[in-house]
Structure formats: C-alpha cells, structure tokens
Amino acid sequence: MTNEQADLILMEVEDHMQKTLEVLKREFAGVRTGRANPALLDKIHVEYYGVETPLKQISSITAVEGNQLFIKPFDKSTLKSIEHAIYASDLGLNPQNDGTGIRLFLPQLTETRRRELIKDVERMGEHAKIGVRNVRRDGNDHIKKLSLSEDDEKGYLADIQELTDKFVKKVDDEIKLKSDELLKI
C-alpha cells in the first residue's frame, strides 16, 4: 500500500511541476515582443453589462501584419468600453477605433526596453523554478512520512529530484526561447 501511495505522490509532484511550467508559459505569452500576439490582451477585462468580462470572450482578436492587432467586438456597443479598458491597462498602447473595430499598433521595442523585458522574463523564470523546488520539497516531505524501506525511500526521493531537474531544465529552455524572441528584431 505505501508504494502505491508513493507512486501517487510521484504523479502529483509531476502534475504540479507541469502546471507550474504552464503558468510560466502563459505569463510569457503576455510579455510584449514587438510582434503582435493576441495573448498580449489576455489580462484585459472590459465592463460588459455591468460585469468585468475578459476581452477575448466578447470579441475576436487577430494579428494583422507583424505589429498590429485588430479587435472586432461581437457587439459594436462595447467599442468604447474596450477602448477605455485598453487605455486603463499597463500596456501603454493607443487604441484606434474605426467604428467596426479597434486597431492596436505595437511600436518597435528599443534595445533598452528589450533588455528590461529579458530581466522580467528571467525573474518570472526564477519564480517558476522556486515553484518547482517547492513542489519537490512537499513531495519529499510526503515520501518521508510514509513508512517505506530505506532503499525505497531513497529511490523515490531520487525520482523526485530527477523530475525537479527535468522541469528546471524546461523552465531554462522557456526562458532562453523567450529571451531569443525578445532579441530578434
């Protein structure tokens, strides 16, 4: 029975580490790279009939050309609300309302801004690594509470460490990918 519990703990550890990696990828999608990406607007919420609603639920968002997003609301009466929400966000973009939709032009990033964004990406990655290590610590604690033989316990702890190394490497790979994307002009 205890080996089955240990196997379950191992699966939970891997699942939590995978979720940490997915959260990091979502955070990275919101980092502006100079190219238009609809995920940039994922955090924008619009007042829609008295309810704060995610922008992507009330409109279609498409990347037009390399540096432009076009937001076409399903209900044209929300254009002003969408425009206001974009102004109120921390994106620093100026929406252009053409009566049927909103265009967002993303200016090219300066070298200094790219370096700042890379530092942000590295910081986010470090937080993800801390999350992975916290999952490892919790998994190790659970394994140690089981009454396993010394050899079994060492084996499961080694498995958890192996998972930790694998996911830390994946986080490093994601950081490198996003940093390279930011450096590409």
- Is the Cα torsion angle 121, 123, 126, 132 positive or negative in sign? negative
Cα distance between residue 143 and residue 53, in whole Å: 42
pLDDT value for 157: 92
Q: pLDDT tens, 120-151?
A: 999 999 999 999 999 999 999 999 998 888 89
Q: pLDDT tens, 101-112?
A: 999 888 777 888
pLDDT value for 10: 92
| Residue-range domains of the chain with CATH | 2-30+110-183 (1.10.132.20), 38-105 (3.30.1360.40)
- The 3 state secondary structure assigned to 54-92 is EHHHHEEEEEECCCEEEEEECCHHHHHHHHHHHHHCCCC
pLDDT value for 17: 94
What is the pTM (predicted TM-score) of this model? 0.73
- The 3 state secondary structure assigned to 90-155 is CCCCCCEECCCCEEEECCCCCHHHHHHHHHHHHHHHHHHHHHHHHHHHHHHHHHHHCCCCHHHHHH
Structure tokens given for 64: 């037009």
Q: pLDDT tens, 158-169?
A: 999 999 999 999
- Count of Cβ atoms closer than 10 Å to residue 165 Cβ: 12
pLDDT value for 185: 60
pLDDT value for 15: 95
Instruction: Return the DSSP state at 48.
Output: E
